[in-house]
Structure 1
Amino acid sequence: MTRENTDSHRAGYELPLLLLAGFRTLIDELHDQLARQGHPHARPAHGFAMQAIGPDGATASDIGRRLGISKQAAGKTVDRLIDLGYAERATDPTDARRRLVRPTAHGYDMLTRSAAILDRLRAQWSHTLGEQQLRALEDSLHTVAAPSAFRLDATQWLGD
């Protein structure tokens, strides 16, 4: 990709690449900072999985459905989150036959730190671009992004 297309015509392929580059810039910096704050093994897929688990917990089937992956793949993801100390398995208080996956204190810490880091990164972008231009960018993306695009299965979609 080149930056030579500064006139009114830009190649169509540049837009998705720029959006992806912006996403990668934010996510890579997020994970660099998380590593320095006690979460060196956190990966983007873990964040999506923790969102799929939610604050009240979820079954492996629920997690798989929310992430757009098989129950078996969800089970492997859950096993990894448990190994890292981000989640735990527990009995569902409303149905003793069901096993829930719940965030641990370490998992909540990662999510809380992620939110704070992303707020700081947004503030940096605001400083670089100006708040008005950043808000215009966000508003424009809200306008053109399909409502169905706000899903947790992004890592699966990117992997296909």
Structure 2
Amino acid sequence: MTRSGADLALLLLGGYRRLVDSAVQELAARGFEDVRPSHDFAMRAIDSGAGSASELGRRMSVTKQAAARTISVLLERGWIAREDDPDDGRRKRLRVTPLGREVMSTGETIFDELRQAWEREIGRQELATLEEQLSRLVGDAPIRLDAPGWVSRDDD
């Protein structure tokens, strides 16, 4: 059966969506309700130096207002904290809390478990081949923190 390029894109998106939806469901079962993929992207961006709403918005390709809303949710849940900036006493910066790190770590563990389930489903060698081929096609940097903004971007 010959598939179109659009079919391939939808299959890849469907695989991503299935993994992410399953991970979100399992995170909720483990006590982390209402985790969204954008929360993980945001915490990773904050962990790598996005210390303000402006910087987080730039890194995630979303508006400063969208970044500020995400920050509010993460602060409310205790996954990030604001602290004094050691370089500028007038500013506050963001950091991921131990609880936020636990959310991210639990998510990583769940993704490993989901990968193992896929391995059982299609076979070790088939999954290894799929990963190898996707790595070859996608390149060295398959993960971008700007995915939330990229998906919803309107370039018109």
Alignment TM-score > 0.5, same fold: yes
Structure 1 residue identity aligned to 2:99: H
Show CA shifts across 1:24-56 (max 9, x none). 110011011100111112111111111111166
CA distance in 2, matches of 1:153, 1:119: 23
Decide whether the 8 Å contact of 1:66 with 1:152 is kept in 2.
yes
Show CA shifts across 1:98-146 (max 9, x none). 3111112221111110011011111111111112211111111111115
CA distance in 1, matches of 2:64, 2:148: 16
CA distance in 2, matches of 1:159, 1:57: 21
Task: Quote the offset at 1:158 in angstroms.
Answer: 1.4
Equivalent residue in structure 2 for 1:39, among 32, 43, 54:
32
Task: Quote the offset at 1:57 in angstroms.
Answer: 6.2
Structure 1 residue identity aligned to 2:103: M
TM-score by length of 2: 0.88
CA distance in 1, matches of 2:109, 2:141: 26
The equivalent residue for 1:121 is 114
Seen in structure 2, the aligned counterparts of structure 1 residues 121 and 82 have a Cα distance that, compared at 3 Å, is: same
CA distance in 2, matches of 1:56, 1:38: 27
TM-score by length of 1: 0.86
Show CA shifts across 1:55-93 (max 9, x none). 666222221111012223211211111112211111123
Alignment root-mean-square deviation, CA: 1.8
Seen in structure 2, the aligned counterparts of structure 1 residues 94 and 110 have a Cα distance that, compared at 3 Å, is: same
How many residue pairs match? The answer is: 153
The runs of 5 or more residues in structure 2 that have no matched partner are none
Task: Quote the offset at 1:22 in angstroms.
Answer: 0.4
2:108 is the alignment partner of 1:152: no
